Structure 1
């Protein structure tokens, strides 16, 4: 019996040590809850995977709030194109389209592009949506004339972090994301055609599309 008690104590000690180690490992492995940001919809009960993504992403949440601000302004504009009742219908279809971005590896890219294009539409169609509200996080559309390029380039900016620009010309469009640069503000992106760049250095603007060299652009008067 004298030999059994120490042996039993050792077994229990080892068991407790293993259990404690497993508990510590489980505690360390447990992921921290994602932060939740304010959006135009209720993040306590998000209905789609895209909404969950927006609720937990600071950049997307700010784009959502700005888009909602533009939408509500457009609804008050009797001169908007399209008219307010059609703006409301279009918004419902847009939300359905945005939510189709899903939760795949390109989900965030898809959501950013969706917000950027919708902001362009609302700002282009409503003078009230383009008012210089100090709280605004969007600007444009601004028009640029690029050397050797026949079409005007319309640019709508989202001043979030990182920034986003939606560019539209003729029958083409692209959404670009701001990238770190020590000189000016540069946006880059790509689609199935290749890579794009839009670079602002003071009053100078440079635009590059697939298959073309860098073009120098000048802002066109607005209004």
Structure 2
């Protein structure tokens, strides 16, 4: 089966021709989407999201980096999915038209990672922060998530820290967590640990650590010792 919609009945040719206008337009859109963003399985239509740009024609340095790096490519595919869901959410904050504008600015900023000392680390941080924004602003982006490639944001309350910690997870390999509190944020990468989910990160302010076991966590930020944190109940 291909991606086109079924044809209308021909019992009444004039009426059928009129009814075909909208389905035909939808079919053309679906066919284009199949060529760029999905593949069509033989038994039914199976959508498989791809990157938002054609890797075979990628020109920007960051796009080329994404296409050859499995972790970044999964993040790009997931972010494209979140973005498209946010565009369908009339209640998103900001509204879909502003989400689209923000996305254009975000792409430009992401591409600037090519000029950084560590382009991959910069790109990972860029995707983690944008995923946090899209999931935070759109209930549809948070709930329509069959693959669970992203989770959150969820809130942790940490002893010794007045602000709640918002955490958004990117379940790629290795996993990534984006932490945001007050006017500060950090992107951490998972490292091996047999007893907890451990994430480490570093920026100009210093080193970060986040260890999670169920609803409990430990957080270490520059200039502070380890703080015990608990997951805040939803609602």
Q: Separation in 2 of the partners of 1:46 and 1:103?
A: 17
- Measured on the aligned residues, the alpha-carbon RMSD in Å equals 1.2
Residue 222 of structure 1 and its aligned partner are, at CA, apart by 2.2
Deviations 1:97-154 (A, max 9, x none): 1011116540000000000000000001000010052213100010000011101000
Select the residue among 169, 190, 206 that pairs with 2:202. Answer: 190
Give, in angstroms, the shift of residue 78 of structure 1.
0.3
Residues in 2 aligned to 1:155 and 1:112: alpha-carbon distance in whole angstroms: 15
Q: TM-score, normalised by structure 2?
A: 0.77
In structure 2, the residue matched to 1:210 is 222
Aligned residues: 186
Instruction: Flag structure 1 segments of 5+ consecutive residues without an equivalent.
Output: 1-37
Aligned match of 1:162: 174
Which runs of 4 or more aligned residues in structure 1 lie more than 3 Å from their structure 2 counterparts after TM superposition? none
Instruction: State the distance in 2 between where 1:137 and 1:172 align.
Output: 24
TM-score normalised by L of structure 1: 0.81
Q: Which 5+ residue runs of structure 2 have no aligned equivalent?
A: 1-49
Q: Structure 2 CA distance, aligned partners of 1:44 and 1:210?
A: 42
Moved more, 40-49 or 130-139: 130-139
User: Residues 25-74 of structure 1, C-alpha deviation per residue, up to 9 Å, x if partnerless?
Assistant: xxxxxxxxxxxxx5221000102000000000000000001000100000
Partner SS state of residue 148, structure 1: coil
Q: Distance in 2 between matches of 1:100 and 1:80?
A: 27
1:75 aligns with 2:87: yes
